[in-house]
Amino acid sequence: MHGALAKIRAELERLKAEPLAAAGDGESARFDWYASGCPCGLPAGACREHPRARPAQRPPSGEWRAWLLLMGRGSGKTRSAAEWVRHRVEAGTARRIALLGATAADVRDVMVEGPSGLLAVCPPWNRPRYEPSKRRLTWPNGAMATTFSADEPERLRGPQSDCAWIDELAAFRYPSAVDNLLFGLRLGADPRLCITTTPKPVKLVTDLVNDPTTAISRGTTYENRSHLAASFFDRIVTRYEGTRLGQQELLAELLEVAEGAWFAAFDPAKHVTTAAEYDPELPVHLAIDCGVSRHVAAVWFQVHAQGAPAAAPSASEWVPWNLTRPEETPSTHNVVTVFGDLHVEGLYSEAAARRILAHGRELPCRGRYDTVRLDPASAARTGIGPTAYAEFERVFGPRVLGRWPSHRVLDGLDQLEVLLDRSCLLIHPRCAALKAALQNYARKRSPGGDWLDDPADPQHPHEDLIDALRGGIRDRFPEGRIEQPRMRSVPARTL
């Protein structure tokens, strides 16, 4: 313990002495963000040792009130805004700064203490003193920045500023936080605002895009590739490439939501096909959303780990979705085919389980099931949850019965969207209820008219069928990732 304290004290002493030497030993070149190049001779944005702003990361010229950086994940928008605040402070044009994020933790962890936040981009000889308890940063020249959370919009009533930075505007729950900040942005001769966000079709973002006083800079994840981990592209980016979600999160495209439709990529002409018929060579997976409501839904599906079904699109269109380690990824493509569905209402758990069992005998699988997975809600510590699970266990038996992994609903829905975008989810024509659910599953709408990342009606039968599907798929692919083929010599595995 004493050794750790001694190290901390030594580091503090080193930092105190650093400002005296930093400006004279060439260190300033590392912090010259707006320089046209670097001492290494590399173009702006290419050097890790001497970070430089790409054209889209530089403040636009001309008259503008707000600078909107509408950019993809990892594109460098946080660094751009932090550098903009820093340089305005150093130029003396910013004396009172407002920092506004979606939550207090976001402001602290991203805007202030993050790897691209204010403390990281400011040089040692001009680094602000951060006082978390006061929500304040103070620079050596007296300029001060105060942090605010969009979850507490009333805190922005009263404080004034001549410079403001809003981060991830599309994630704000309370639009009034922005209104209150703008009312206080009234000091100095030229008060200005910088907004960094990944685009979502919410009113806060669309209003800014349509405002003639807004200057917009756009950028994609790929433009900042040299500064991102290779594994990020191998594991994460490839998961969303070519998908609607990828258009939004990677390419920073502002997508329209058609009347609240959640699965905009679902196309019956492409995703509903007899190629999704039962295959006796593959295991049958049964997923059941029993929950604790009056509605029970079930889907029967299989995973084609050896490639697409015969009648599906060509193999070049499939992207593998698999559970193996990256170095063992086979050169095959996993496709989910749903060949049966059922929705019942008003039955108690054992009766619902027996109805599902009877329906399974009517399907081409003739009642076969290799795994049965229930909604984790059946484990709820209520008088209903454990009882429901016990009744399903009596019908299906403990050997095959289990609960699908707990996960955020939004993550599971994203997983379905990616499968649909990749044409890796096929539905048999007999699954009319599931088809209707995919077509009509809608987003909730806020009083302000924004489409939210929440189901419009959590108690609708469509929601139960989609829950069963996302839960079953999550059980087969708990990591939820897509891997590109890497080693063609490795034999395929059967899930």
- Tens of pLDDT along 12-62? 455 444 443 344 445 777 888 888 878 887 877 777 788 888 888 899 988
Domain match, 39 and 144 both: yes
Buried b / exposed e across 347-373, counting CB within 10 Å, b at 16+?
A: eebeebbbbbbebbeebebeeebebbb
Q: In this structure, is residue 430 part of a structural domain?
A: yes
Q: In this structure, is residue 485 part of a structural domain?
A: no
pLDDT computed for residue 293 by the predictor: 58
pLDDT computed for residue 258 by the predictor: 47
What is the domain range of residue 268?
A: 258-476
Burial status of residue 418 (CB atoms within 10 A of its CB: 0-12, 13-18, 19 or more): buried
Give the long-range contacts of residues 133-138, CB within 8 A, separation 24 or more.
Answer: 137/112
**Cβ neighbours of residue 316 under 8 Å, at least 6 residues apart?**
none
Q: Is the pLDDT of residue 443 over 70?
A: no
Question: What are the pLDDT digits (tens) for 183-211?
Answer: 999 999 999 999 999 887 778 888 888 88
Residue 392 phi/psi, 5-degree rounding, is: -65, -35
Q: Which two tokens stand for residue 302?
A: 């299989």
Q: In this structure, is residue 489 part of a structural domain?
A: no
Q: In this structure, is residue 124 part of a structural domain?
A: yes
Buried b / exposed e across 226-237, counting CB within 10 Å, b at 16+?
A: ebbeeeebebbb
Domain match, 323 and 462 both: yes
Put residue 423 in one of left, alpha, beta given phi > 0 → left and psi -120 to 50 → alpha.
left
The average pLDDT across 136-147 equals 96
Banded pLDDT at 332 (limits 50, 70, 90): very low
pLDDT computed for residue 84 by the predictor: 96
Contact 38, 29 (CB under 8 A): yes
Domain match, 346 and 407 both: yes
Write down the mean pLDDT value for the chain.
Answer: 78
Domain match, 208 and 303 both: no
Q: Is the pLDDT of residue 487 over 60?
A: no
Q: How far apart are the first and last CA of the chain?
A: 49
Burial status of residue 25 (CB atoms within 10 A of its CB: 0-12, 13-18, 19 or more): exposed
Question: What are the pLDDT digits (tens) for 422-435?
Answer: 888 999 999 988 98
Of the chain, the percentage scoring pLDDT greater than 70 comes to 73
Q: Is the pLDDT of residue 360 over 80?
A: yes
Question: What are the pLDDT digits (tens) for 363-384?
Answer: 999 999 999 999 876 544 433 4
Contact 302, 339 (CB under 8 A): yes
Q: Is the pLDDT of residue 474 over 80?
A: yes
Q: Is the pLDDT of residue 306 over 80?
A: no
Domain match, 183 and 79 both: yes
- What whole-number distance in Å separates Cα of residue 431 and Cα of residue 285? 15
Banded pLDDT at 330 (limits 50, 70, 90): very low
The average pLDDT across 58-72 equals 89
Residue 19 parent element (H or E): helix 2-22
pLDDT computed for residue 322 by the predictor: 33
pLDDT computed for residue 295 by the predictor: 81
Banded pLDDT at 486 (limits 50, 70, 90): very low
Domain match, 267 and 134 both: no
The average pLDDT across 278-289 equals 93
Q: Which of 121-135, 305-319, 325-339 has the highest mean pLDDT?
A: 121-135
Buried b / exposed e across 425-446, counting CB within 10 Å, b at 16+?
A: bbbbebbebbbebbbebbbeee
- The pTM for the full model equals 0.55
Domain match, 358 and 423 both: yes
pLDDT computed for residue 83 by the predictor: 95
Which ranges constitute the DSSP H helices of 172-258? 176-184, 203-210, 230-231, 238-240, 244-249
Q: Is the pLDDT of residue 135 over 90?
A: yes
Q: In this structure, is residue 412 part of a structural domain?
A: yes
CA atoms within 13 A on the CB side of 187: 15
The one-character DSSP state at 43 is: B
* DSSP per-residue letters across 279-291: -TTS--EEEEE-T
Q: In this structure, is residue 427 part of a structural domain?
A: yes
Q: In this structure, is residue 440 part of a structural domain?
A: yes
Q: Is the pLDDT of residue 80 over 50?
A: yes
Which CATH number fits the domain that encloses residue 164? 3.40.50.300
Domain match, 218 and 295 both: no
Closest CA to 482 of 416, 418, 421, 435: 418
Domain match, 224 and 316 both: no
How many residues does this entry show for the chain?
495
Question: What are the pLDDT digits (tens) for 313-324?
Answer: 333 333 333 323
Domain match, 94 and 209 both: yes
Domain match, 323 and 223 both: no
Banded pLDDT at 256 (limits 50, 70, 90): low
pLDDT computed for residue 115 by the predictor: 92
Q: Which two tokens stand for residue 166?
A: 């809003």
Domain count, the chain: 2
Q: In this structure, is residue 5 part of a structural domain?
A: no
- What whole-number distance in Å separates Cα of residue 303 and Cα of residue 287? 13
Q: Which residue has the higher pLDDT, 165 or 411?
A: 165
Which CATH number fits the domain that encloses residue 459? 3.30.420.240
Banded pLDDT at 401 (limits 50, 70, 90): confident
The average pLDDT across 127-134 equals 95
Domain match, 309 and 418 both: yes
Using alpha carbons, list the distances in angstroms from residue 415 to 149, 200, 443, 457, 495.
Answer: 30, 18, 16, 20, 18
Q: Which residue has the higher pLDDT, 269 or 337?
A: 337
